[in-house]
Chain A
Amino acid sequence: MREKAKILDKDTIARSLMRMAHEILEKNKGTQNLCLIGIRNRGVYLASRLAGCMEKIENRRVAVGTLDITLYRDDLTLIAAQPVVHKTEIGFDISDKIVVLVDDVLYSGRTVRSALDALIDFGRPRSIQLAVLVDRGHRELPVRADFVGKNIPTSKKEMIEVRLVESDGKDEVVIMEKD
């Protein structure tokens, strides 16, 4: 794999997140009943950053949870060994809340499908919305994002790598291509 192009850097990621925070607040008319749930791993960091942006705007803290979708994957019977199961931590009741699911990349839509199944097991939210940093297309399920940092048209041979300070030491989004 080689790096083909850098799409976002530290500053553009920060601006995208701030814009998305504004959009989420605009659509939902503030932070009332709002909560963010990040999908492991990078969605969790993005959710907590979005919460930070919202706090700057509205001066109010929204609840942030963590979702591990491993047990809801639709390919568990296809892969060789069981993937490592991480913790799901949702320390609040999601019933009647507006839940914004947060992930780094939207691609086939299968992760989001799993996450929706998982969330419903925790309660009955008033609505579920989807925020992603990158939408790269190629959906295999009827899923779309409500809030998008950047739309990046890709070919299936390419890969999008989202790197964040929390997990990778720096903030950037790059397109990788097979040699």
Chain B
Amino acid sequence: MSGLWTKKDLLGLEDLSKDELELILSTAESFKEVSTREIKKVPALRGKTVLNLFYEPSTRTRVSFEVAAKRLSADVINIAAETSSVRKGETLIDTGRNLEALKADIIVVRHNASGAAAILARHVNISVVNAGDGWHEHPTQALLDIFTLKEKLGRIDGIKVSIVGDIAHSRVARSNIWGLTKLGAQVMVCAPELLIPPAIEKMGARVTHDIDEALCNADAVNILRMQFERDEKGAFPNKQEYFKRFGITEERLKKNNKNIIIMHPGPINRGIEISSEIADCKNSVILEQVTNGIAVRMAVLFLVSGVQEKKDEATD
């Protein structure tokens, strides 16, 4: 790992080099300790303002970013699009420019359109962090998944990770595939036929529709929630059928792989994609992922905030 961070924004893992990914992970390692202190706060972003701009409902990601920003001593303002001027017809770009005029330093944006964060980043000089854009990317979720894997397995290079669930509608899957493959891991995706997007193999992931195959050789399985609310074309099996064919159960793990690490970005649906016993079993790192999310988001906010400063100096 070498070199300093030079990007104003974090839009996706597709844009990042291996070195940049490793820099975020090692910075997050240093930040993890801050949350274990008696006073869980460092002054690194004192006087900076972080705006959480959320066009989609989200509790865990927003709260995680909020906690991360506050542990860096930044001021945080949350904007939910339903209650903002978006309802009065303001465009994303205009909203972004207004936030910039308020002298915010970082916008954390969640939007239902793929590419929204990138558009915003092009039109403002302040930093933009993608907190999920449509089906495109959710970089900080993948970074915390990878961070957790590295913590558990000691490395990413050479490990095997299976991602099971609604791959077609999943920005988490996309970001994970980009990040993991760049760091040398092998990724397999597993889902019903209609929930595998056609281009996924070009991203470097292997495809299977057989859950046993996905489990038997993997070091970890990342289980995605079935996003039934996104099923417009009737591509989803019903819940019972899905659990029977793809649900991660004790029985299935006993048969294939008892030591596999169980991951899930949340919210979990017990009895649909994962059985209750497995969600709470000793191999499950689901809650550790939540803890690690803070450290990873602190690292990202810290790194991008430094670059924006440079830009300001250049325009002075």
Q: Is the beta-carbon distance between A122 and B4 smaller than 8 angstroms?
A: no
Asked if A117 and B38 make an inter-chain contact with CB atoms under 8 angstroms apart, the answer reads no
Shortest CB–CB separation between residue A26 and chain B, in angstroms? Answer: 31
Bound state CA distance, A122 and B29, in angstroms? Answer: 18
Q: Which residues in B have their C-beta under 8 angstroms from that of A122?
A: 37-39
- Return the CB mask of B30-43 against A: 1 if under 8 Å, else 0: 11011001110111
A77 to B37, CA, bound (A): 24
With beta carbons under 8 angstroms apart, the residue of B33, B302, B309 that contacts A87 is B33
Q: Please name all residues of chain A whose beta carbon is closer than 8 Å to the beta carbon of B299 when the two chains form the complex.
A: 85
Tell yes or no: A155 within 8 A of B by CB. Answer: no
Per-residue B-contact encoding for A72-88, CB less than 8 Å = 1, 0 else: 10001101111111111
Task: Assess the A81–B44 pair: CB atoms within 8 A.
Answer: no
A11 to B202, CA, bound (A): 61
Chain A residue nearest to B40 in the complex (CB) = A121
Given A68-B30, A88-B33, A82:B41 Cβ within 8 A: no
B38–A76 CB distance below 8 A: no
| B306 contacts the other chain (CB 8 A) | yes
Measured CA separation A84–B299 after assembly (Å) = 10
User: Contact residue range for chain A?
Assistant: 20 to 34
Which residue of the partner chain A has the closest CB to B4?
A81
Q: A52-72: which have CB < 8 Å to B? A: 68, 70-72
Cα of A178 to Cα of B82 in the assembled complex, Å: 61
Across the interface, do A121 and B4 meet the contact criterion of CB distance under 8 Å?
A: no
Cα-based distance from A121 to B309 in the complex (angstroms): 27
Which residues of A lie under 8 Å from residue B303 when comparing CB positions?
82
Rounded to whole angstroms, the CA-CA distance of A121 and B72 in the bound complex is 13
Residues on the B chain within 8 Å of A80, using CB:
306, 309-310, 313
Do residues B37 and A81 form an inter-chain contact, with CB atoms below 8 A? no
Residues from chain B with Cβ under 8 Å of A79 in the complex: 306
Quick check: B43 and A82 within 8 Å, CB to CB? no
Contact of B30 among A81, A88, A117, A118 (CB under 8 A): A88
With both chains docked as a complex, state the minimum distance between the C-beta of A37 and any C-beta of chain B, in angstroms: 14
- Asked if A30 is at the interface of the complex by the 8 Å CB criterion, the answer is no
Question: Residue of B at shortest CB range from A73?
Answer: B44
Q: With A and B bound together, what is the CA distance between A83 and B303 in angstroms?
A: 9
Q: How far is the CB of B190 from chain A (nearest CB, A)?
A: 36
Q: Which of B299-316 contact A (CB under 8 A)?
A: 299, 302-303, 305-307, 309-310, 313
- Inside 8 A of A87's CB, which chain B residues have their CB? 29-30, 33
Which of A71, A77, A84, A117 lies at the interface centre, i.e. has the most chain B CB atoms within 10 A of its CB? A71
In the complex, which residues of chain A have a beta carbon less than 8 angstroms from the beta carbon of B217? Answer: none
Q: Does B5 contact A (CB under 8 A)?
A: yes
Q: Which of A94-133 contact B (CB under 8 A)?
A: 117-118, 121-123
Given known A-B contacts A68-B30, A81-B5, A85-B30, A121 and B306 have beta carbons under 8 A apart: no
A166 within 8 A of B: no
A88-B33, A121-B37 given; A82·B42 CB < 8 A: no
In whole Å, how far is A172's beta carbon from the nearest beta carbon of chain B?
A: 26
Query: B114 at the A/B interface (Cβ < 8 Å)?
Result: no
18 A–B contact pairs at CB < 8 A? A70-B44, A71-B42, A72-B42, A80-B309, A80-B310, A81-B310, A82-B4, A82-B302, A85-B30, A85-B302, A87-B30, A88-B30, A88-B33, A117-B43, A118-B42, A121-B39, A121-B41, A122-B37
Given contacts A71-B42, A117-B43, 18 further A-B contacts (CB under 8 A): A71-B43, A71-B44, A71-B72, A71-B302, A72-B42, A81-B5, A81-B306, A81-B307, A82-B5, A82-B307, A85-B27, A85-B299, A87-B33, A88-B30, A88-B33, A121-B38, A121-B41, A122-B37
